Amino acid sequence: MRIETITDNYIKHFFSVQDFCDQAEIDNRIDTAKNKDLCQTTLNMSAEHWTTNTNSLMHRLYVKKDFSNNNGALVAVYENDRIVAVSSITKLDNKTALGGRRTFILKGHRGRYLFVNGLLPPQLDWAKSNNIERVLLAVNQYNKSVYRLMRRIVNSQSLLGIDPNNYLRKFKEMPDLQEIKGVQQHVFYYDLC
C-alpha cells in the first residue's frame, strides 16, 4: 500500500482516478439499492458525464481544478498500483480548510481504517504546510454510520486498529449542525495551532 498526496500534475493520475471512479460507481449502485439517501455519493464519484457533472470528483479535479494553486490536495491510497481510497482537503479561507471531502473507500477495503490511518494524516500535513489554523471534517446527515464512527473516535472510545494517539482523536464536535457549502452537516474541528 502506498499513499500519494496529489496537489498538481493531475493528468499523470487521470486513468487511475477514472478507473477508481468507475469502480466506486459500481459499489455505489449496490449501496444505493439498499439506501436511497446515498444518491449524492453516487453523483460525487460518478465518472459518467464527468465534464458536466459539477459534483463529481473528476470534474472537481480536472475541470474546476479545486486543488490547484495551493488551494487543496487529493490523497489517494494505492494498492497494487490501483487507487482503492481517496479523500481531499480544500481551503475555505486562508485560515480554515475542509478535510475529508469526496472521501470514498472501495468495497473490500472498508473496515481497515484507511481514512483514519491513511487518508487523514496527509491532509493535516498539507494543512500545516499551508499555514491553515483549523481543519473541519463535515459529515452529511444521511451518512449515519460515518457520523457514529466519528463520534466514537472523537469521544476517545477504544477501537481496534486505531492508534490512541491518532490525529482524529484531537478533533472536537461542534454542538449544532453547521452549514457548509449550503448543506447542514455535522462538523468536527481540529485547531492546528
Whole-prediction pTM: 0.85
Containing domain of residue 142, as a range?
2-191
The total domain count for the chain is: 1
**Segment 152-157 mean pLDDT:** 72
CATH code of 182's domain:
3.40.630.30
Averaging pLDDT over each range in 20-29, 95-104, 108-117, which range is the top one?
95-104
Least confident of 15-19, 94-98, 142-146: 142-146
What pLDDT is stored for residue 174 in this prediction?
93
User: In this model, does residue 35 exceed pLDDT 60?
Assistant: no
How, if at all, do strands 134-140 and 183-191 pair?
A: antiparallel
Residues 82, 63: Cα–Cα separation, whole Å: 22
Q: What is the mean pLDDT of the segment spanning 51-66?
A: 86
Q: Are 103 and 41 in contact (CB under 8 A)?
A: no
Within a 10 A sphere around the Cβ of 41, how many other Cβ atoms? 23
Q: Which spans in 80-138 are helix H?
A: 114, 120-129
